[in-house]
Amino acid sequence: MSPQTDDRISRLIEEIVQDARPVRRLWPPAIRLSAWFVILLATTSVVVVAGLRPGVVQRLESAAFLGELVCLSAATGAAAWIALRAAIPGLESGFRRSLLVGSTVGGLGFVLSLVQTRFAAGIPLTDFVRTGIHCTLASIVIAVVPAWTLVWAVGRGVAYRPAWAGATGGLAASIWTYVLMQLRCRLDETAHVIVWHGGPLVAVTAASAALAVVIARARHARGTTL
């Protein structure tokens, strides 16, 4: 490099050094994931206390339902793990492979959940919407805290693709919300589950992606003191 460039780099290093205040180190992803699981557990407890559908215990004896629970729980954990690692440089490797494994397991969980539903023709549209809106609102309320905390945790790092990291975090929260809605909602109708339980999953994922981008931009703007 030319002497002028060397000089420019030296000046930049000096500015960076002068700007360097002590920083609080980010917790490792495993610890942050454990902390998030505590939040998930608290959310689950609130949902359980608020009331589950009748016959949940009998439902837990069904192999398909247990399979669904296991697959969706694994997908929740995988998505949260991917999101948290995506926010730390050098830990994003294996992102696509993990995403593939997570989506396969999650997809299997959704298929198992739909296998347990039945399609009911002839439901009046007003009834379909009235019962559905209730489930959608409940889903969003349940998902808000886990999704927000995970996206915030992702935003504490420096995700190279904040939208993807945020979306994966939102997906983790909304998959678990889907599970909780399966324990809460009395309707096992296919269209209801797909539209009103699956819809919020997509909405929360998209909103989390947007939120992660906003957080990343705000943090970047605050960090550009140089």
Partner 1 sequence: MALAQAGDHEAYRELLENLSASLSAFLRRRLFDPDEVADVLQETLMTLHRARHTYDPARPFEPWVFAIARHVLTDHVRRRARRGRVEVLADVELPDVSASEPAASEDLLLRALEQLPHGQREAFTMLKLEGLSVAAAAARAGVTHGALKVRAHRAYKALRALLARQ
Torsion angle, alpha carbons of 41, 110, 68, 163, to 10: -30
Q: How many residues bind partner 1 (CB under 8 A)?
A: 32
7 near partner 1, judged by CB under 8 A: no
What token pair was written down for 153?
């945790």
Choices 87-95, 103-111, 165-173, 196-204 (CB under 8 A): range interacting with partner 1: 87-95
Q: Which is nearer to partner 1, 72 or 87 (CB)?
A: 87
**Residue from the set 66, 89, 130, 134 that interacts with partner 1 by CB under 8 A:** 89
1 near partner 1, judged by CB under 8 A: yes
- State the nearest-atom distance from the C-beta of 32 to partner 1, in Å: 11
226 near partner 1, judged by CB under 8 A: yes
146 near partner 1, judged by CB under 8 A: no
30 near partner 1, judged by CB under 8 A: no
Amino acid letter for position 96: R
Amino acid letter for position 182: Q
5 near partner 1, judged by CB under 8 A: yes
| Non-local CB neighbours of 168 within 8 Å, separated by 6+ positions | 79, 80, 82, 83, 86, 99
- Tell me how far apart the alpha carbons of residues 197 and 135 are, in angstroms, rounded to a whole number: 7
Say if residues 92 and 123 touch (Cβ distance below 8 Å): no
CA distances from 49 to 138, 145, 185, 189 (A): 14, 17, 14, 24
Choices 1-9, 59-67, 184-192, 207-215 (CB under 8 A): range interacting with partner 1: 1-9
**Residue from the set 129, 144, 160, 183 that interacts with partner 1 by CB under 8 A:** 160
Q: Which is nearer to partner 1, 68 or 92 (CB)?
A: 92
φ, ψ (nearest 5 deg) of residue 54:
-65, 145
- State the nearest-atom distance from the C-beta of 92 to partner 1, in Å: 7
- Tell me how far apart the alpha carbons of residues 214 and 206 are, in angstroms, rounded to a whole number: 13
Choices 9-17, 58-66, 141-149, 177-185 (CB under 8 A): range interacting with partner 1: 9-17
**Residue from the set 33, 87, 105, 147 that interacts with partner 1 by CB under 8 A:** 87
User: Kind and range of the H or E element at 159?
Assistant: none
74 burial (CB, 10 Å; 0-12 / 13-18 / 19+) is: middle
Interaction site with partner 1 (CB under 8 A):
1-2, 5, 8-9, 12-14, 16-26, 28, 87-90, 92, 157-158, 160, 220, 223-224, 226
